[in-house]
């Protein structure tokens, strides 16, 4: 068995008025609690360092970038996370808003990194599926301006080796799209990490608001089951600057079962000792891609 002891480190609200050092201190406390559980890996949410700012229209680009984005990683304010990780010998996943200067221009991404037990960044992913709308909609009570604030990620879905297994990272809205899991599943992913910030109220489909929790777990359980992989979904949860966000952070087994879940909408760890070898049966029986998949009939998926 290849056991990875995973701590899903859900975070409660981060207000627009919370200074980053205060939020990082909460995360360090969660990392220390995870260490007391002998965790090998701590998974923090999407955009963990700040409020889920895409719900507001922020016209001043300079203010937007200075307040919510990181121009380097580790940065001064996030260094305590890397230092604590190295001190405790624990790895972590962190979601944050990234400014990068690449290809001769400035770019903004909704990014997640995986850092190993020595404090080294071993993987970077940039969110592919950006939900919401690219224009400010004053008639909406809250916005979802990810398409205005971020570019589509340029790294695709690349599996990587970590903790003796094959890992993948997706972010939030990615979890609703089967392709996110399948592209990683085709690379043999055994554990997929996913942070999320999900407002219960979706102005584009308010009729579905009452299904927010159901539509949170449903795709992650399906993605886990259909690709024989663990899925770790971690929320920034609770009522953040007046707007409720889905919690129920969960660790989902390769059979699609929720084997650990947070009971509150605050800072809370859901913990499970995950045996990566449990993925074998799914990948060699029902979901033996080589034996059962028929890509010659799927071309519409990539051609349209
Ligand atoms: N947020 C939401 C998500 O996909 C959303 C957007 C909310 C989509 C409600 C559908 C319904 O979980 C992010 N950050 O992607």
How many angstroms separate the alpha carbon of residue 281 from the centre of ligand 1? 32
Average pLDDT for 241-261: 98
Q: What is the pLDDT of residues 77-133, one digit of tens each?
A: 999 999 999 999 999 999 999 999 999 999 999 999 999 999 999 999 999 999 999
Q: Where are the domains of the chain?
A: 3-303
| Closest ligand 1 atom to 199 CA | 7
pTM over 0.95: yes
**110 in ligand 1 pocket by Cβ < 6 Å?**
no
pLDDT reported for residue 304: 87
Q: What is the pLDDT of residues 26-71, one digit of tens each?
A: 999 999 999 999 999 999 999 999 999 999 999 999 999 999 999 9
CATH of domain 3-303: 3.60.110.10
Q: Which of 117, 113, 52, 124 is nearest to 78 (CA)?
A: 113
- What is the rounded distance in angstroms from the CA atom of residue 59 to the CA atom of residue 56? 9
| Closest ligand 1 atom to 176 CA | 4
Question: DSSP string covering 226-292, please?
Answer: HHT-EEEEEEB-EEETTEEE----EEE-TTS-EEEE-SSSSSEEEEEEEEGGGHHHHHHTTT-HHHH
Give the side-chain half-sphere CA count within 13 A for 137. Answer: 19
**131 in ligand 1 pocket by Cβ < 6 Å?**
yes
- What is the rounded distance in angstroms from the CA atom of residue 56 to the CA atom of residue 152? 19
pLDDT band at 213 (very low <50, low <70, confident <90, very high): very high
**Would you name the residues annotated as active-site residues?**
46, 127, 172
pLDDT reported for residue 301: 95
pLDDT reported for residue 234: 99
Average pLDDT for 9-21: 98
Give the mutation target among 198, 217, 247 for probing the ligand 1 site: most ligand atoms within 8 A of CB: 198
The answer to whether 222 and 196 are in contact (CB under 8 A) is no
**202 in ligand 1 pocket by Cβ < 6 Å?**
yes
pLDDT reported for residue 153: 98
The residue contributing the CA closest to ligand 1 atom 9 is 202
The answer to whether 67 and 17 are in contact (CB under 8 A) is no
Q: What is the pLDDT of residues 134-187, one digit of tens each?
A: 999 999 999 999 999 999 999 999 999 999 999 999 999 999 999 999 999 999
């Amino acid at each position: 068995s290849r056991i990875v002891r995973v701590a899903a480190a859900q975070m409660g609200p981060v207000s627009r008025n919370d200074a980053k050092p205060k939020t990082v201190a909460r995360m360090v406390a969660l990392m220390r609690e995870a260490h007391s559980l002998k965790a090998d890996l701590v998974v923090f949410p999407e955009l963990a360092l700040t409020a889920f700012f895409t719900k507001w229209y922020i016209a001043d680009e300079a203010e937007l970038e200075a307040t919510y984005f990181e121009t380097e990683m580790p940065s001064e304010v996030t260094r305590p996370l890397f230092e604590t990780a190295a001190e405790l010998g624990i790895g972590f996943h962190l979601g944050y808003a990234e400014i990068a200067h690449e290809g001769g221009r400035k770019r903004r991404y909704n990014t997640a990194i995986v850092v190993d037990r020595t404090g080294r960044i071993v993987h970077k992913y940039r969110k592919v599926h950006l939900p919401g709308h690219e224009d400010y909609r004053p008639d909406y009570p809250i916005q979802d301006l990810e398409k205005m604030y971020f570019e589509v990620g340029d790294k695709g879905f690349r599996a990587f080796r970590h903790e003796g297994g094959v890992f993948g990272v997706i972010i939030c809205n990615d979890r609703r799209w089967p392709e996110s899991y399948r592209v990683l599943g085709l690379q043999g992913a055994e554990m997929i990490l996913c942070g999320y910030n999900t407002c219960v109220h979706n102005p584009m489909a308010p009729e579905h608001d009452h299904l927010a929790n159901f539509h949170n777990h449903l795709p992650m359980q399906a993605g886990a089951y259909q690709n024989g992989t663990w899925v770790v979904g971690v929320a920034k949860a609770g009522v953040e600057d007046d707007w409720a966000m889905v919690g129920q952070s969960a660790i989902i087994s390769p059979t699609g079962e929720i084997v650990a879940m947070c009971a509150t909408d605050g800072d809370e760890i859901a913990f499970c000792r995950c045996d990566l070898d449990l993925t074998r049966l799914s990948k060699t029986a029902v979901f033996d891609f080589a034996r059962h998949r028929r890509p010659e009939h799927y071309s519409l998926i990539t051609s349209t």
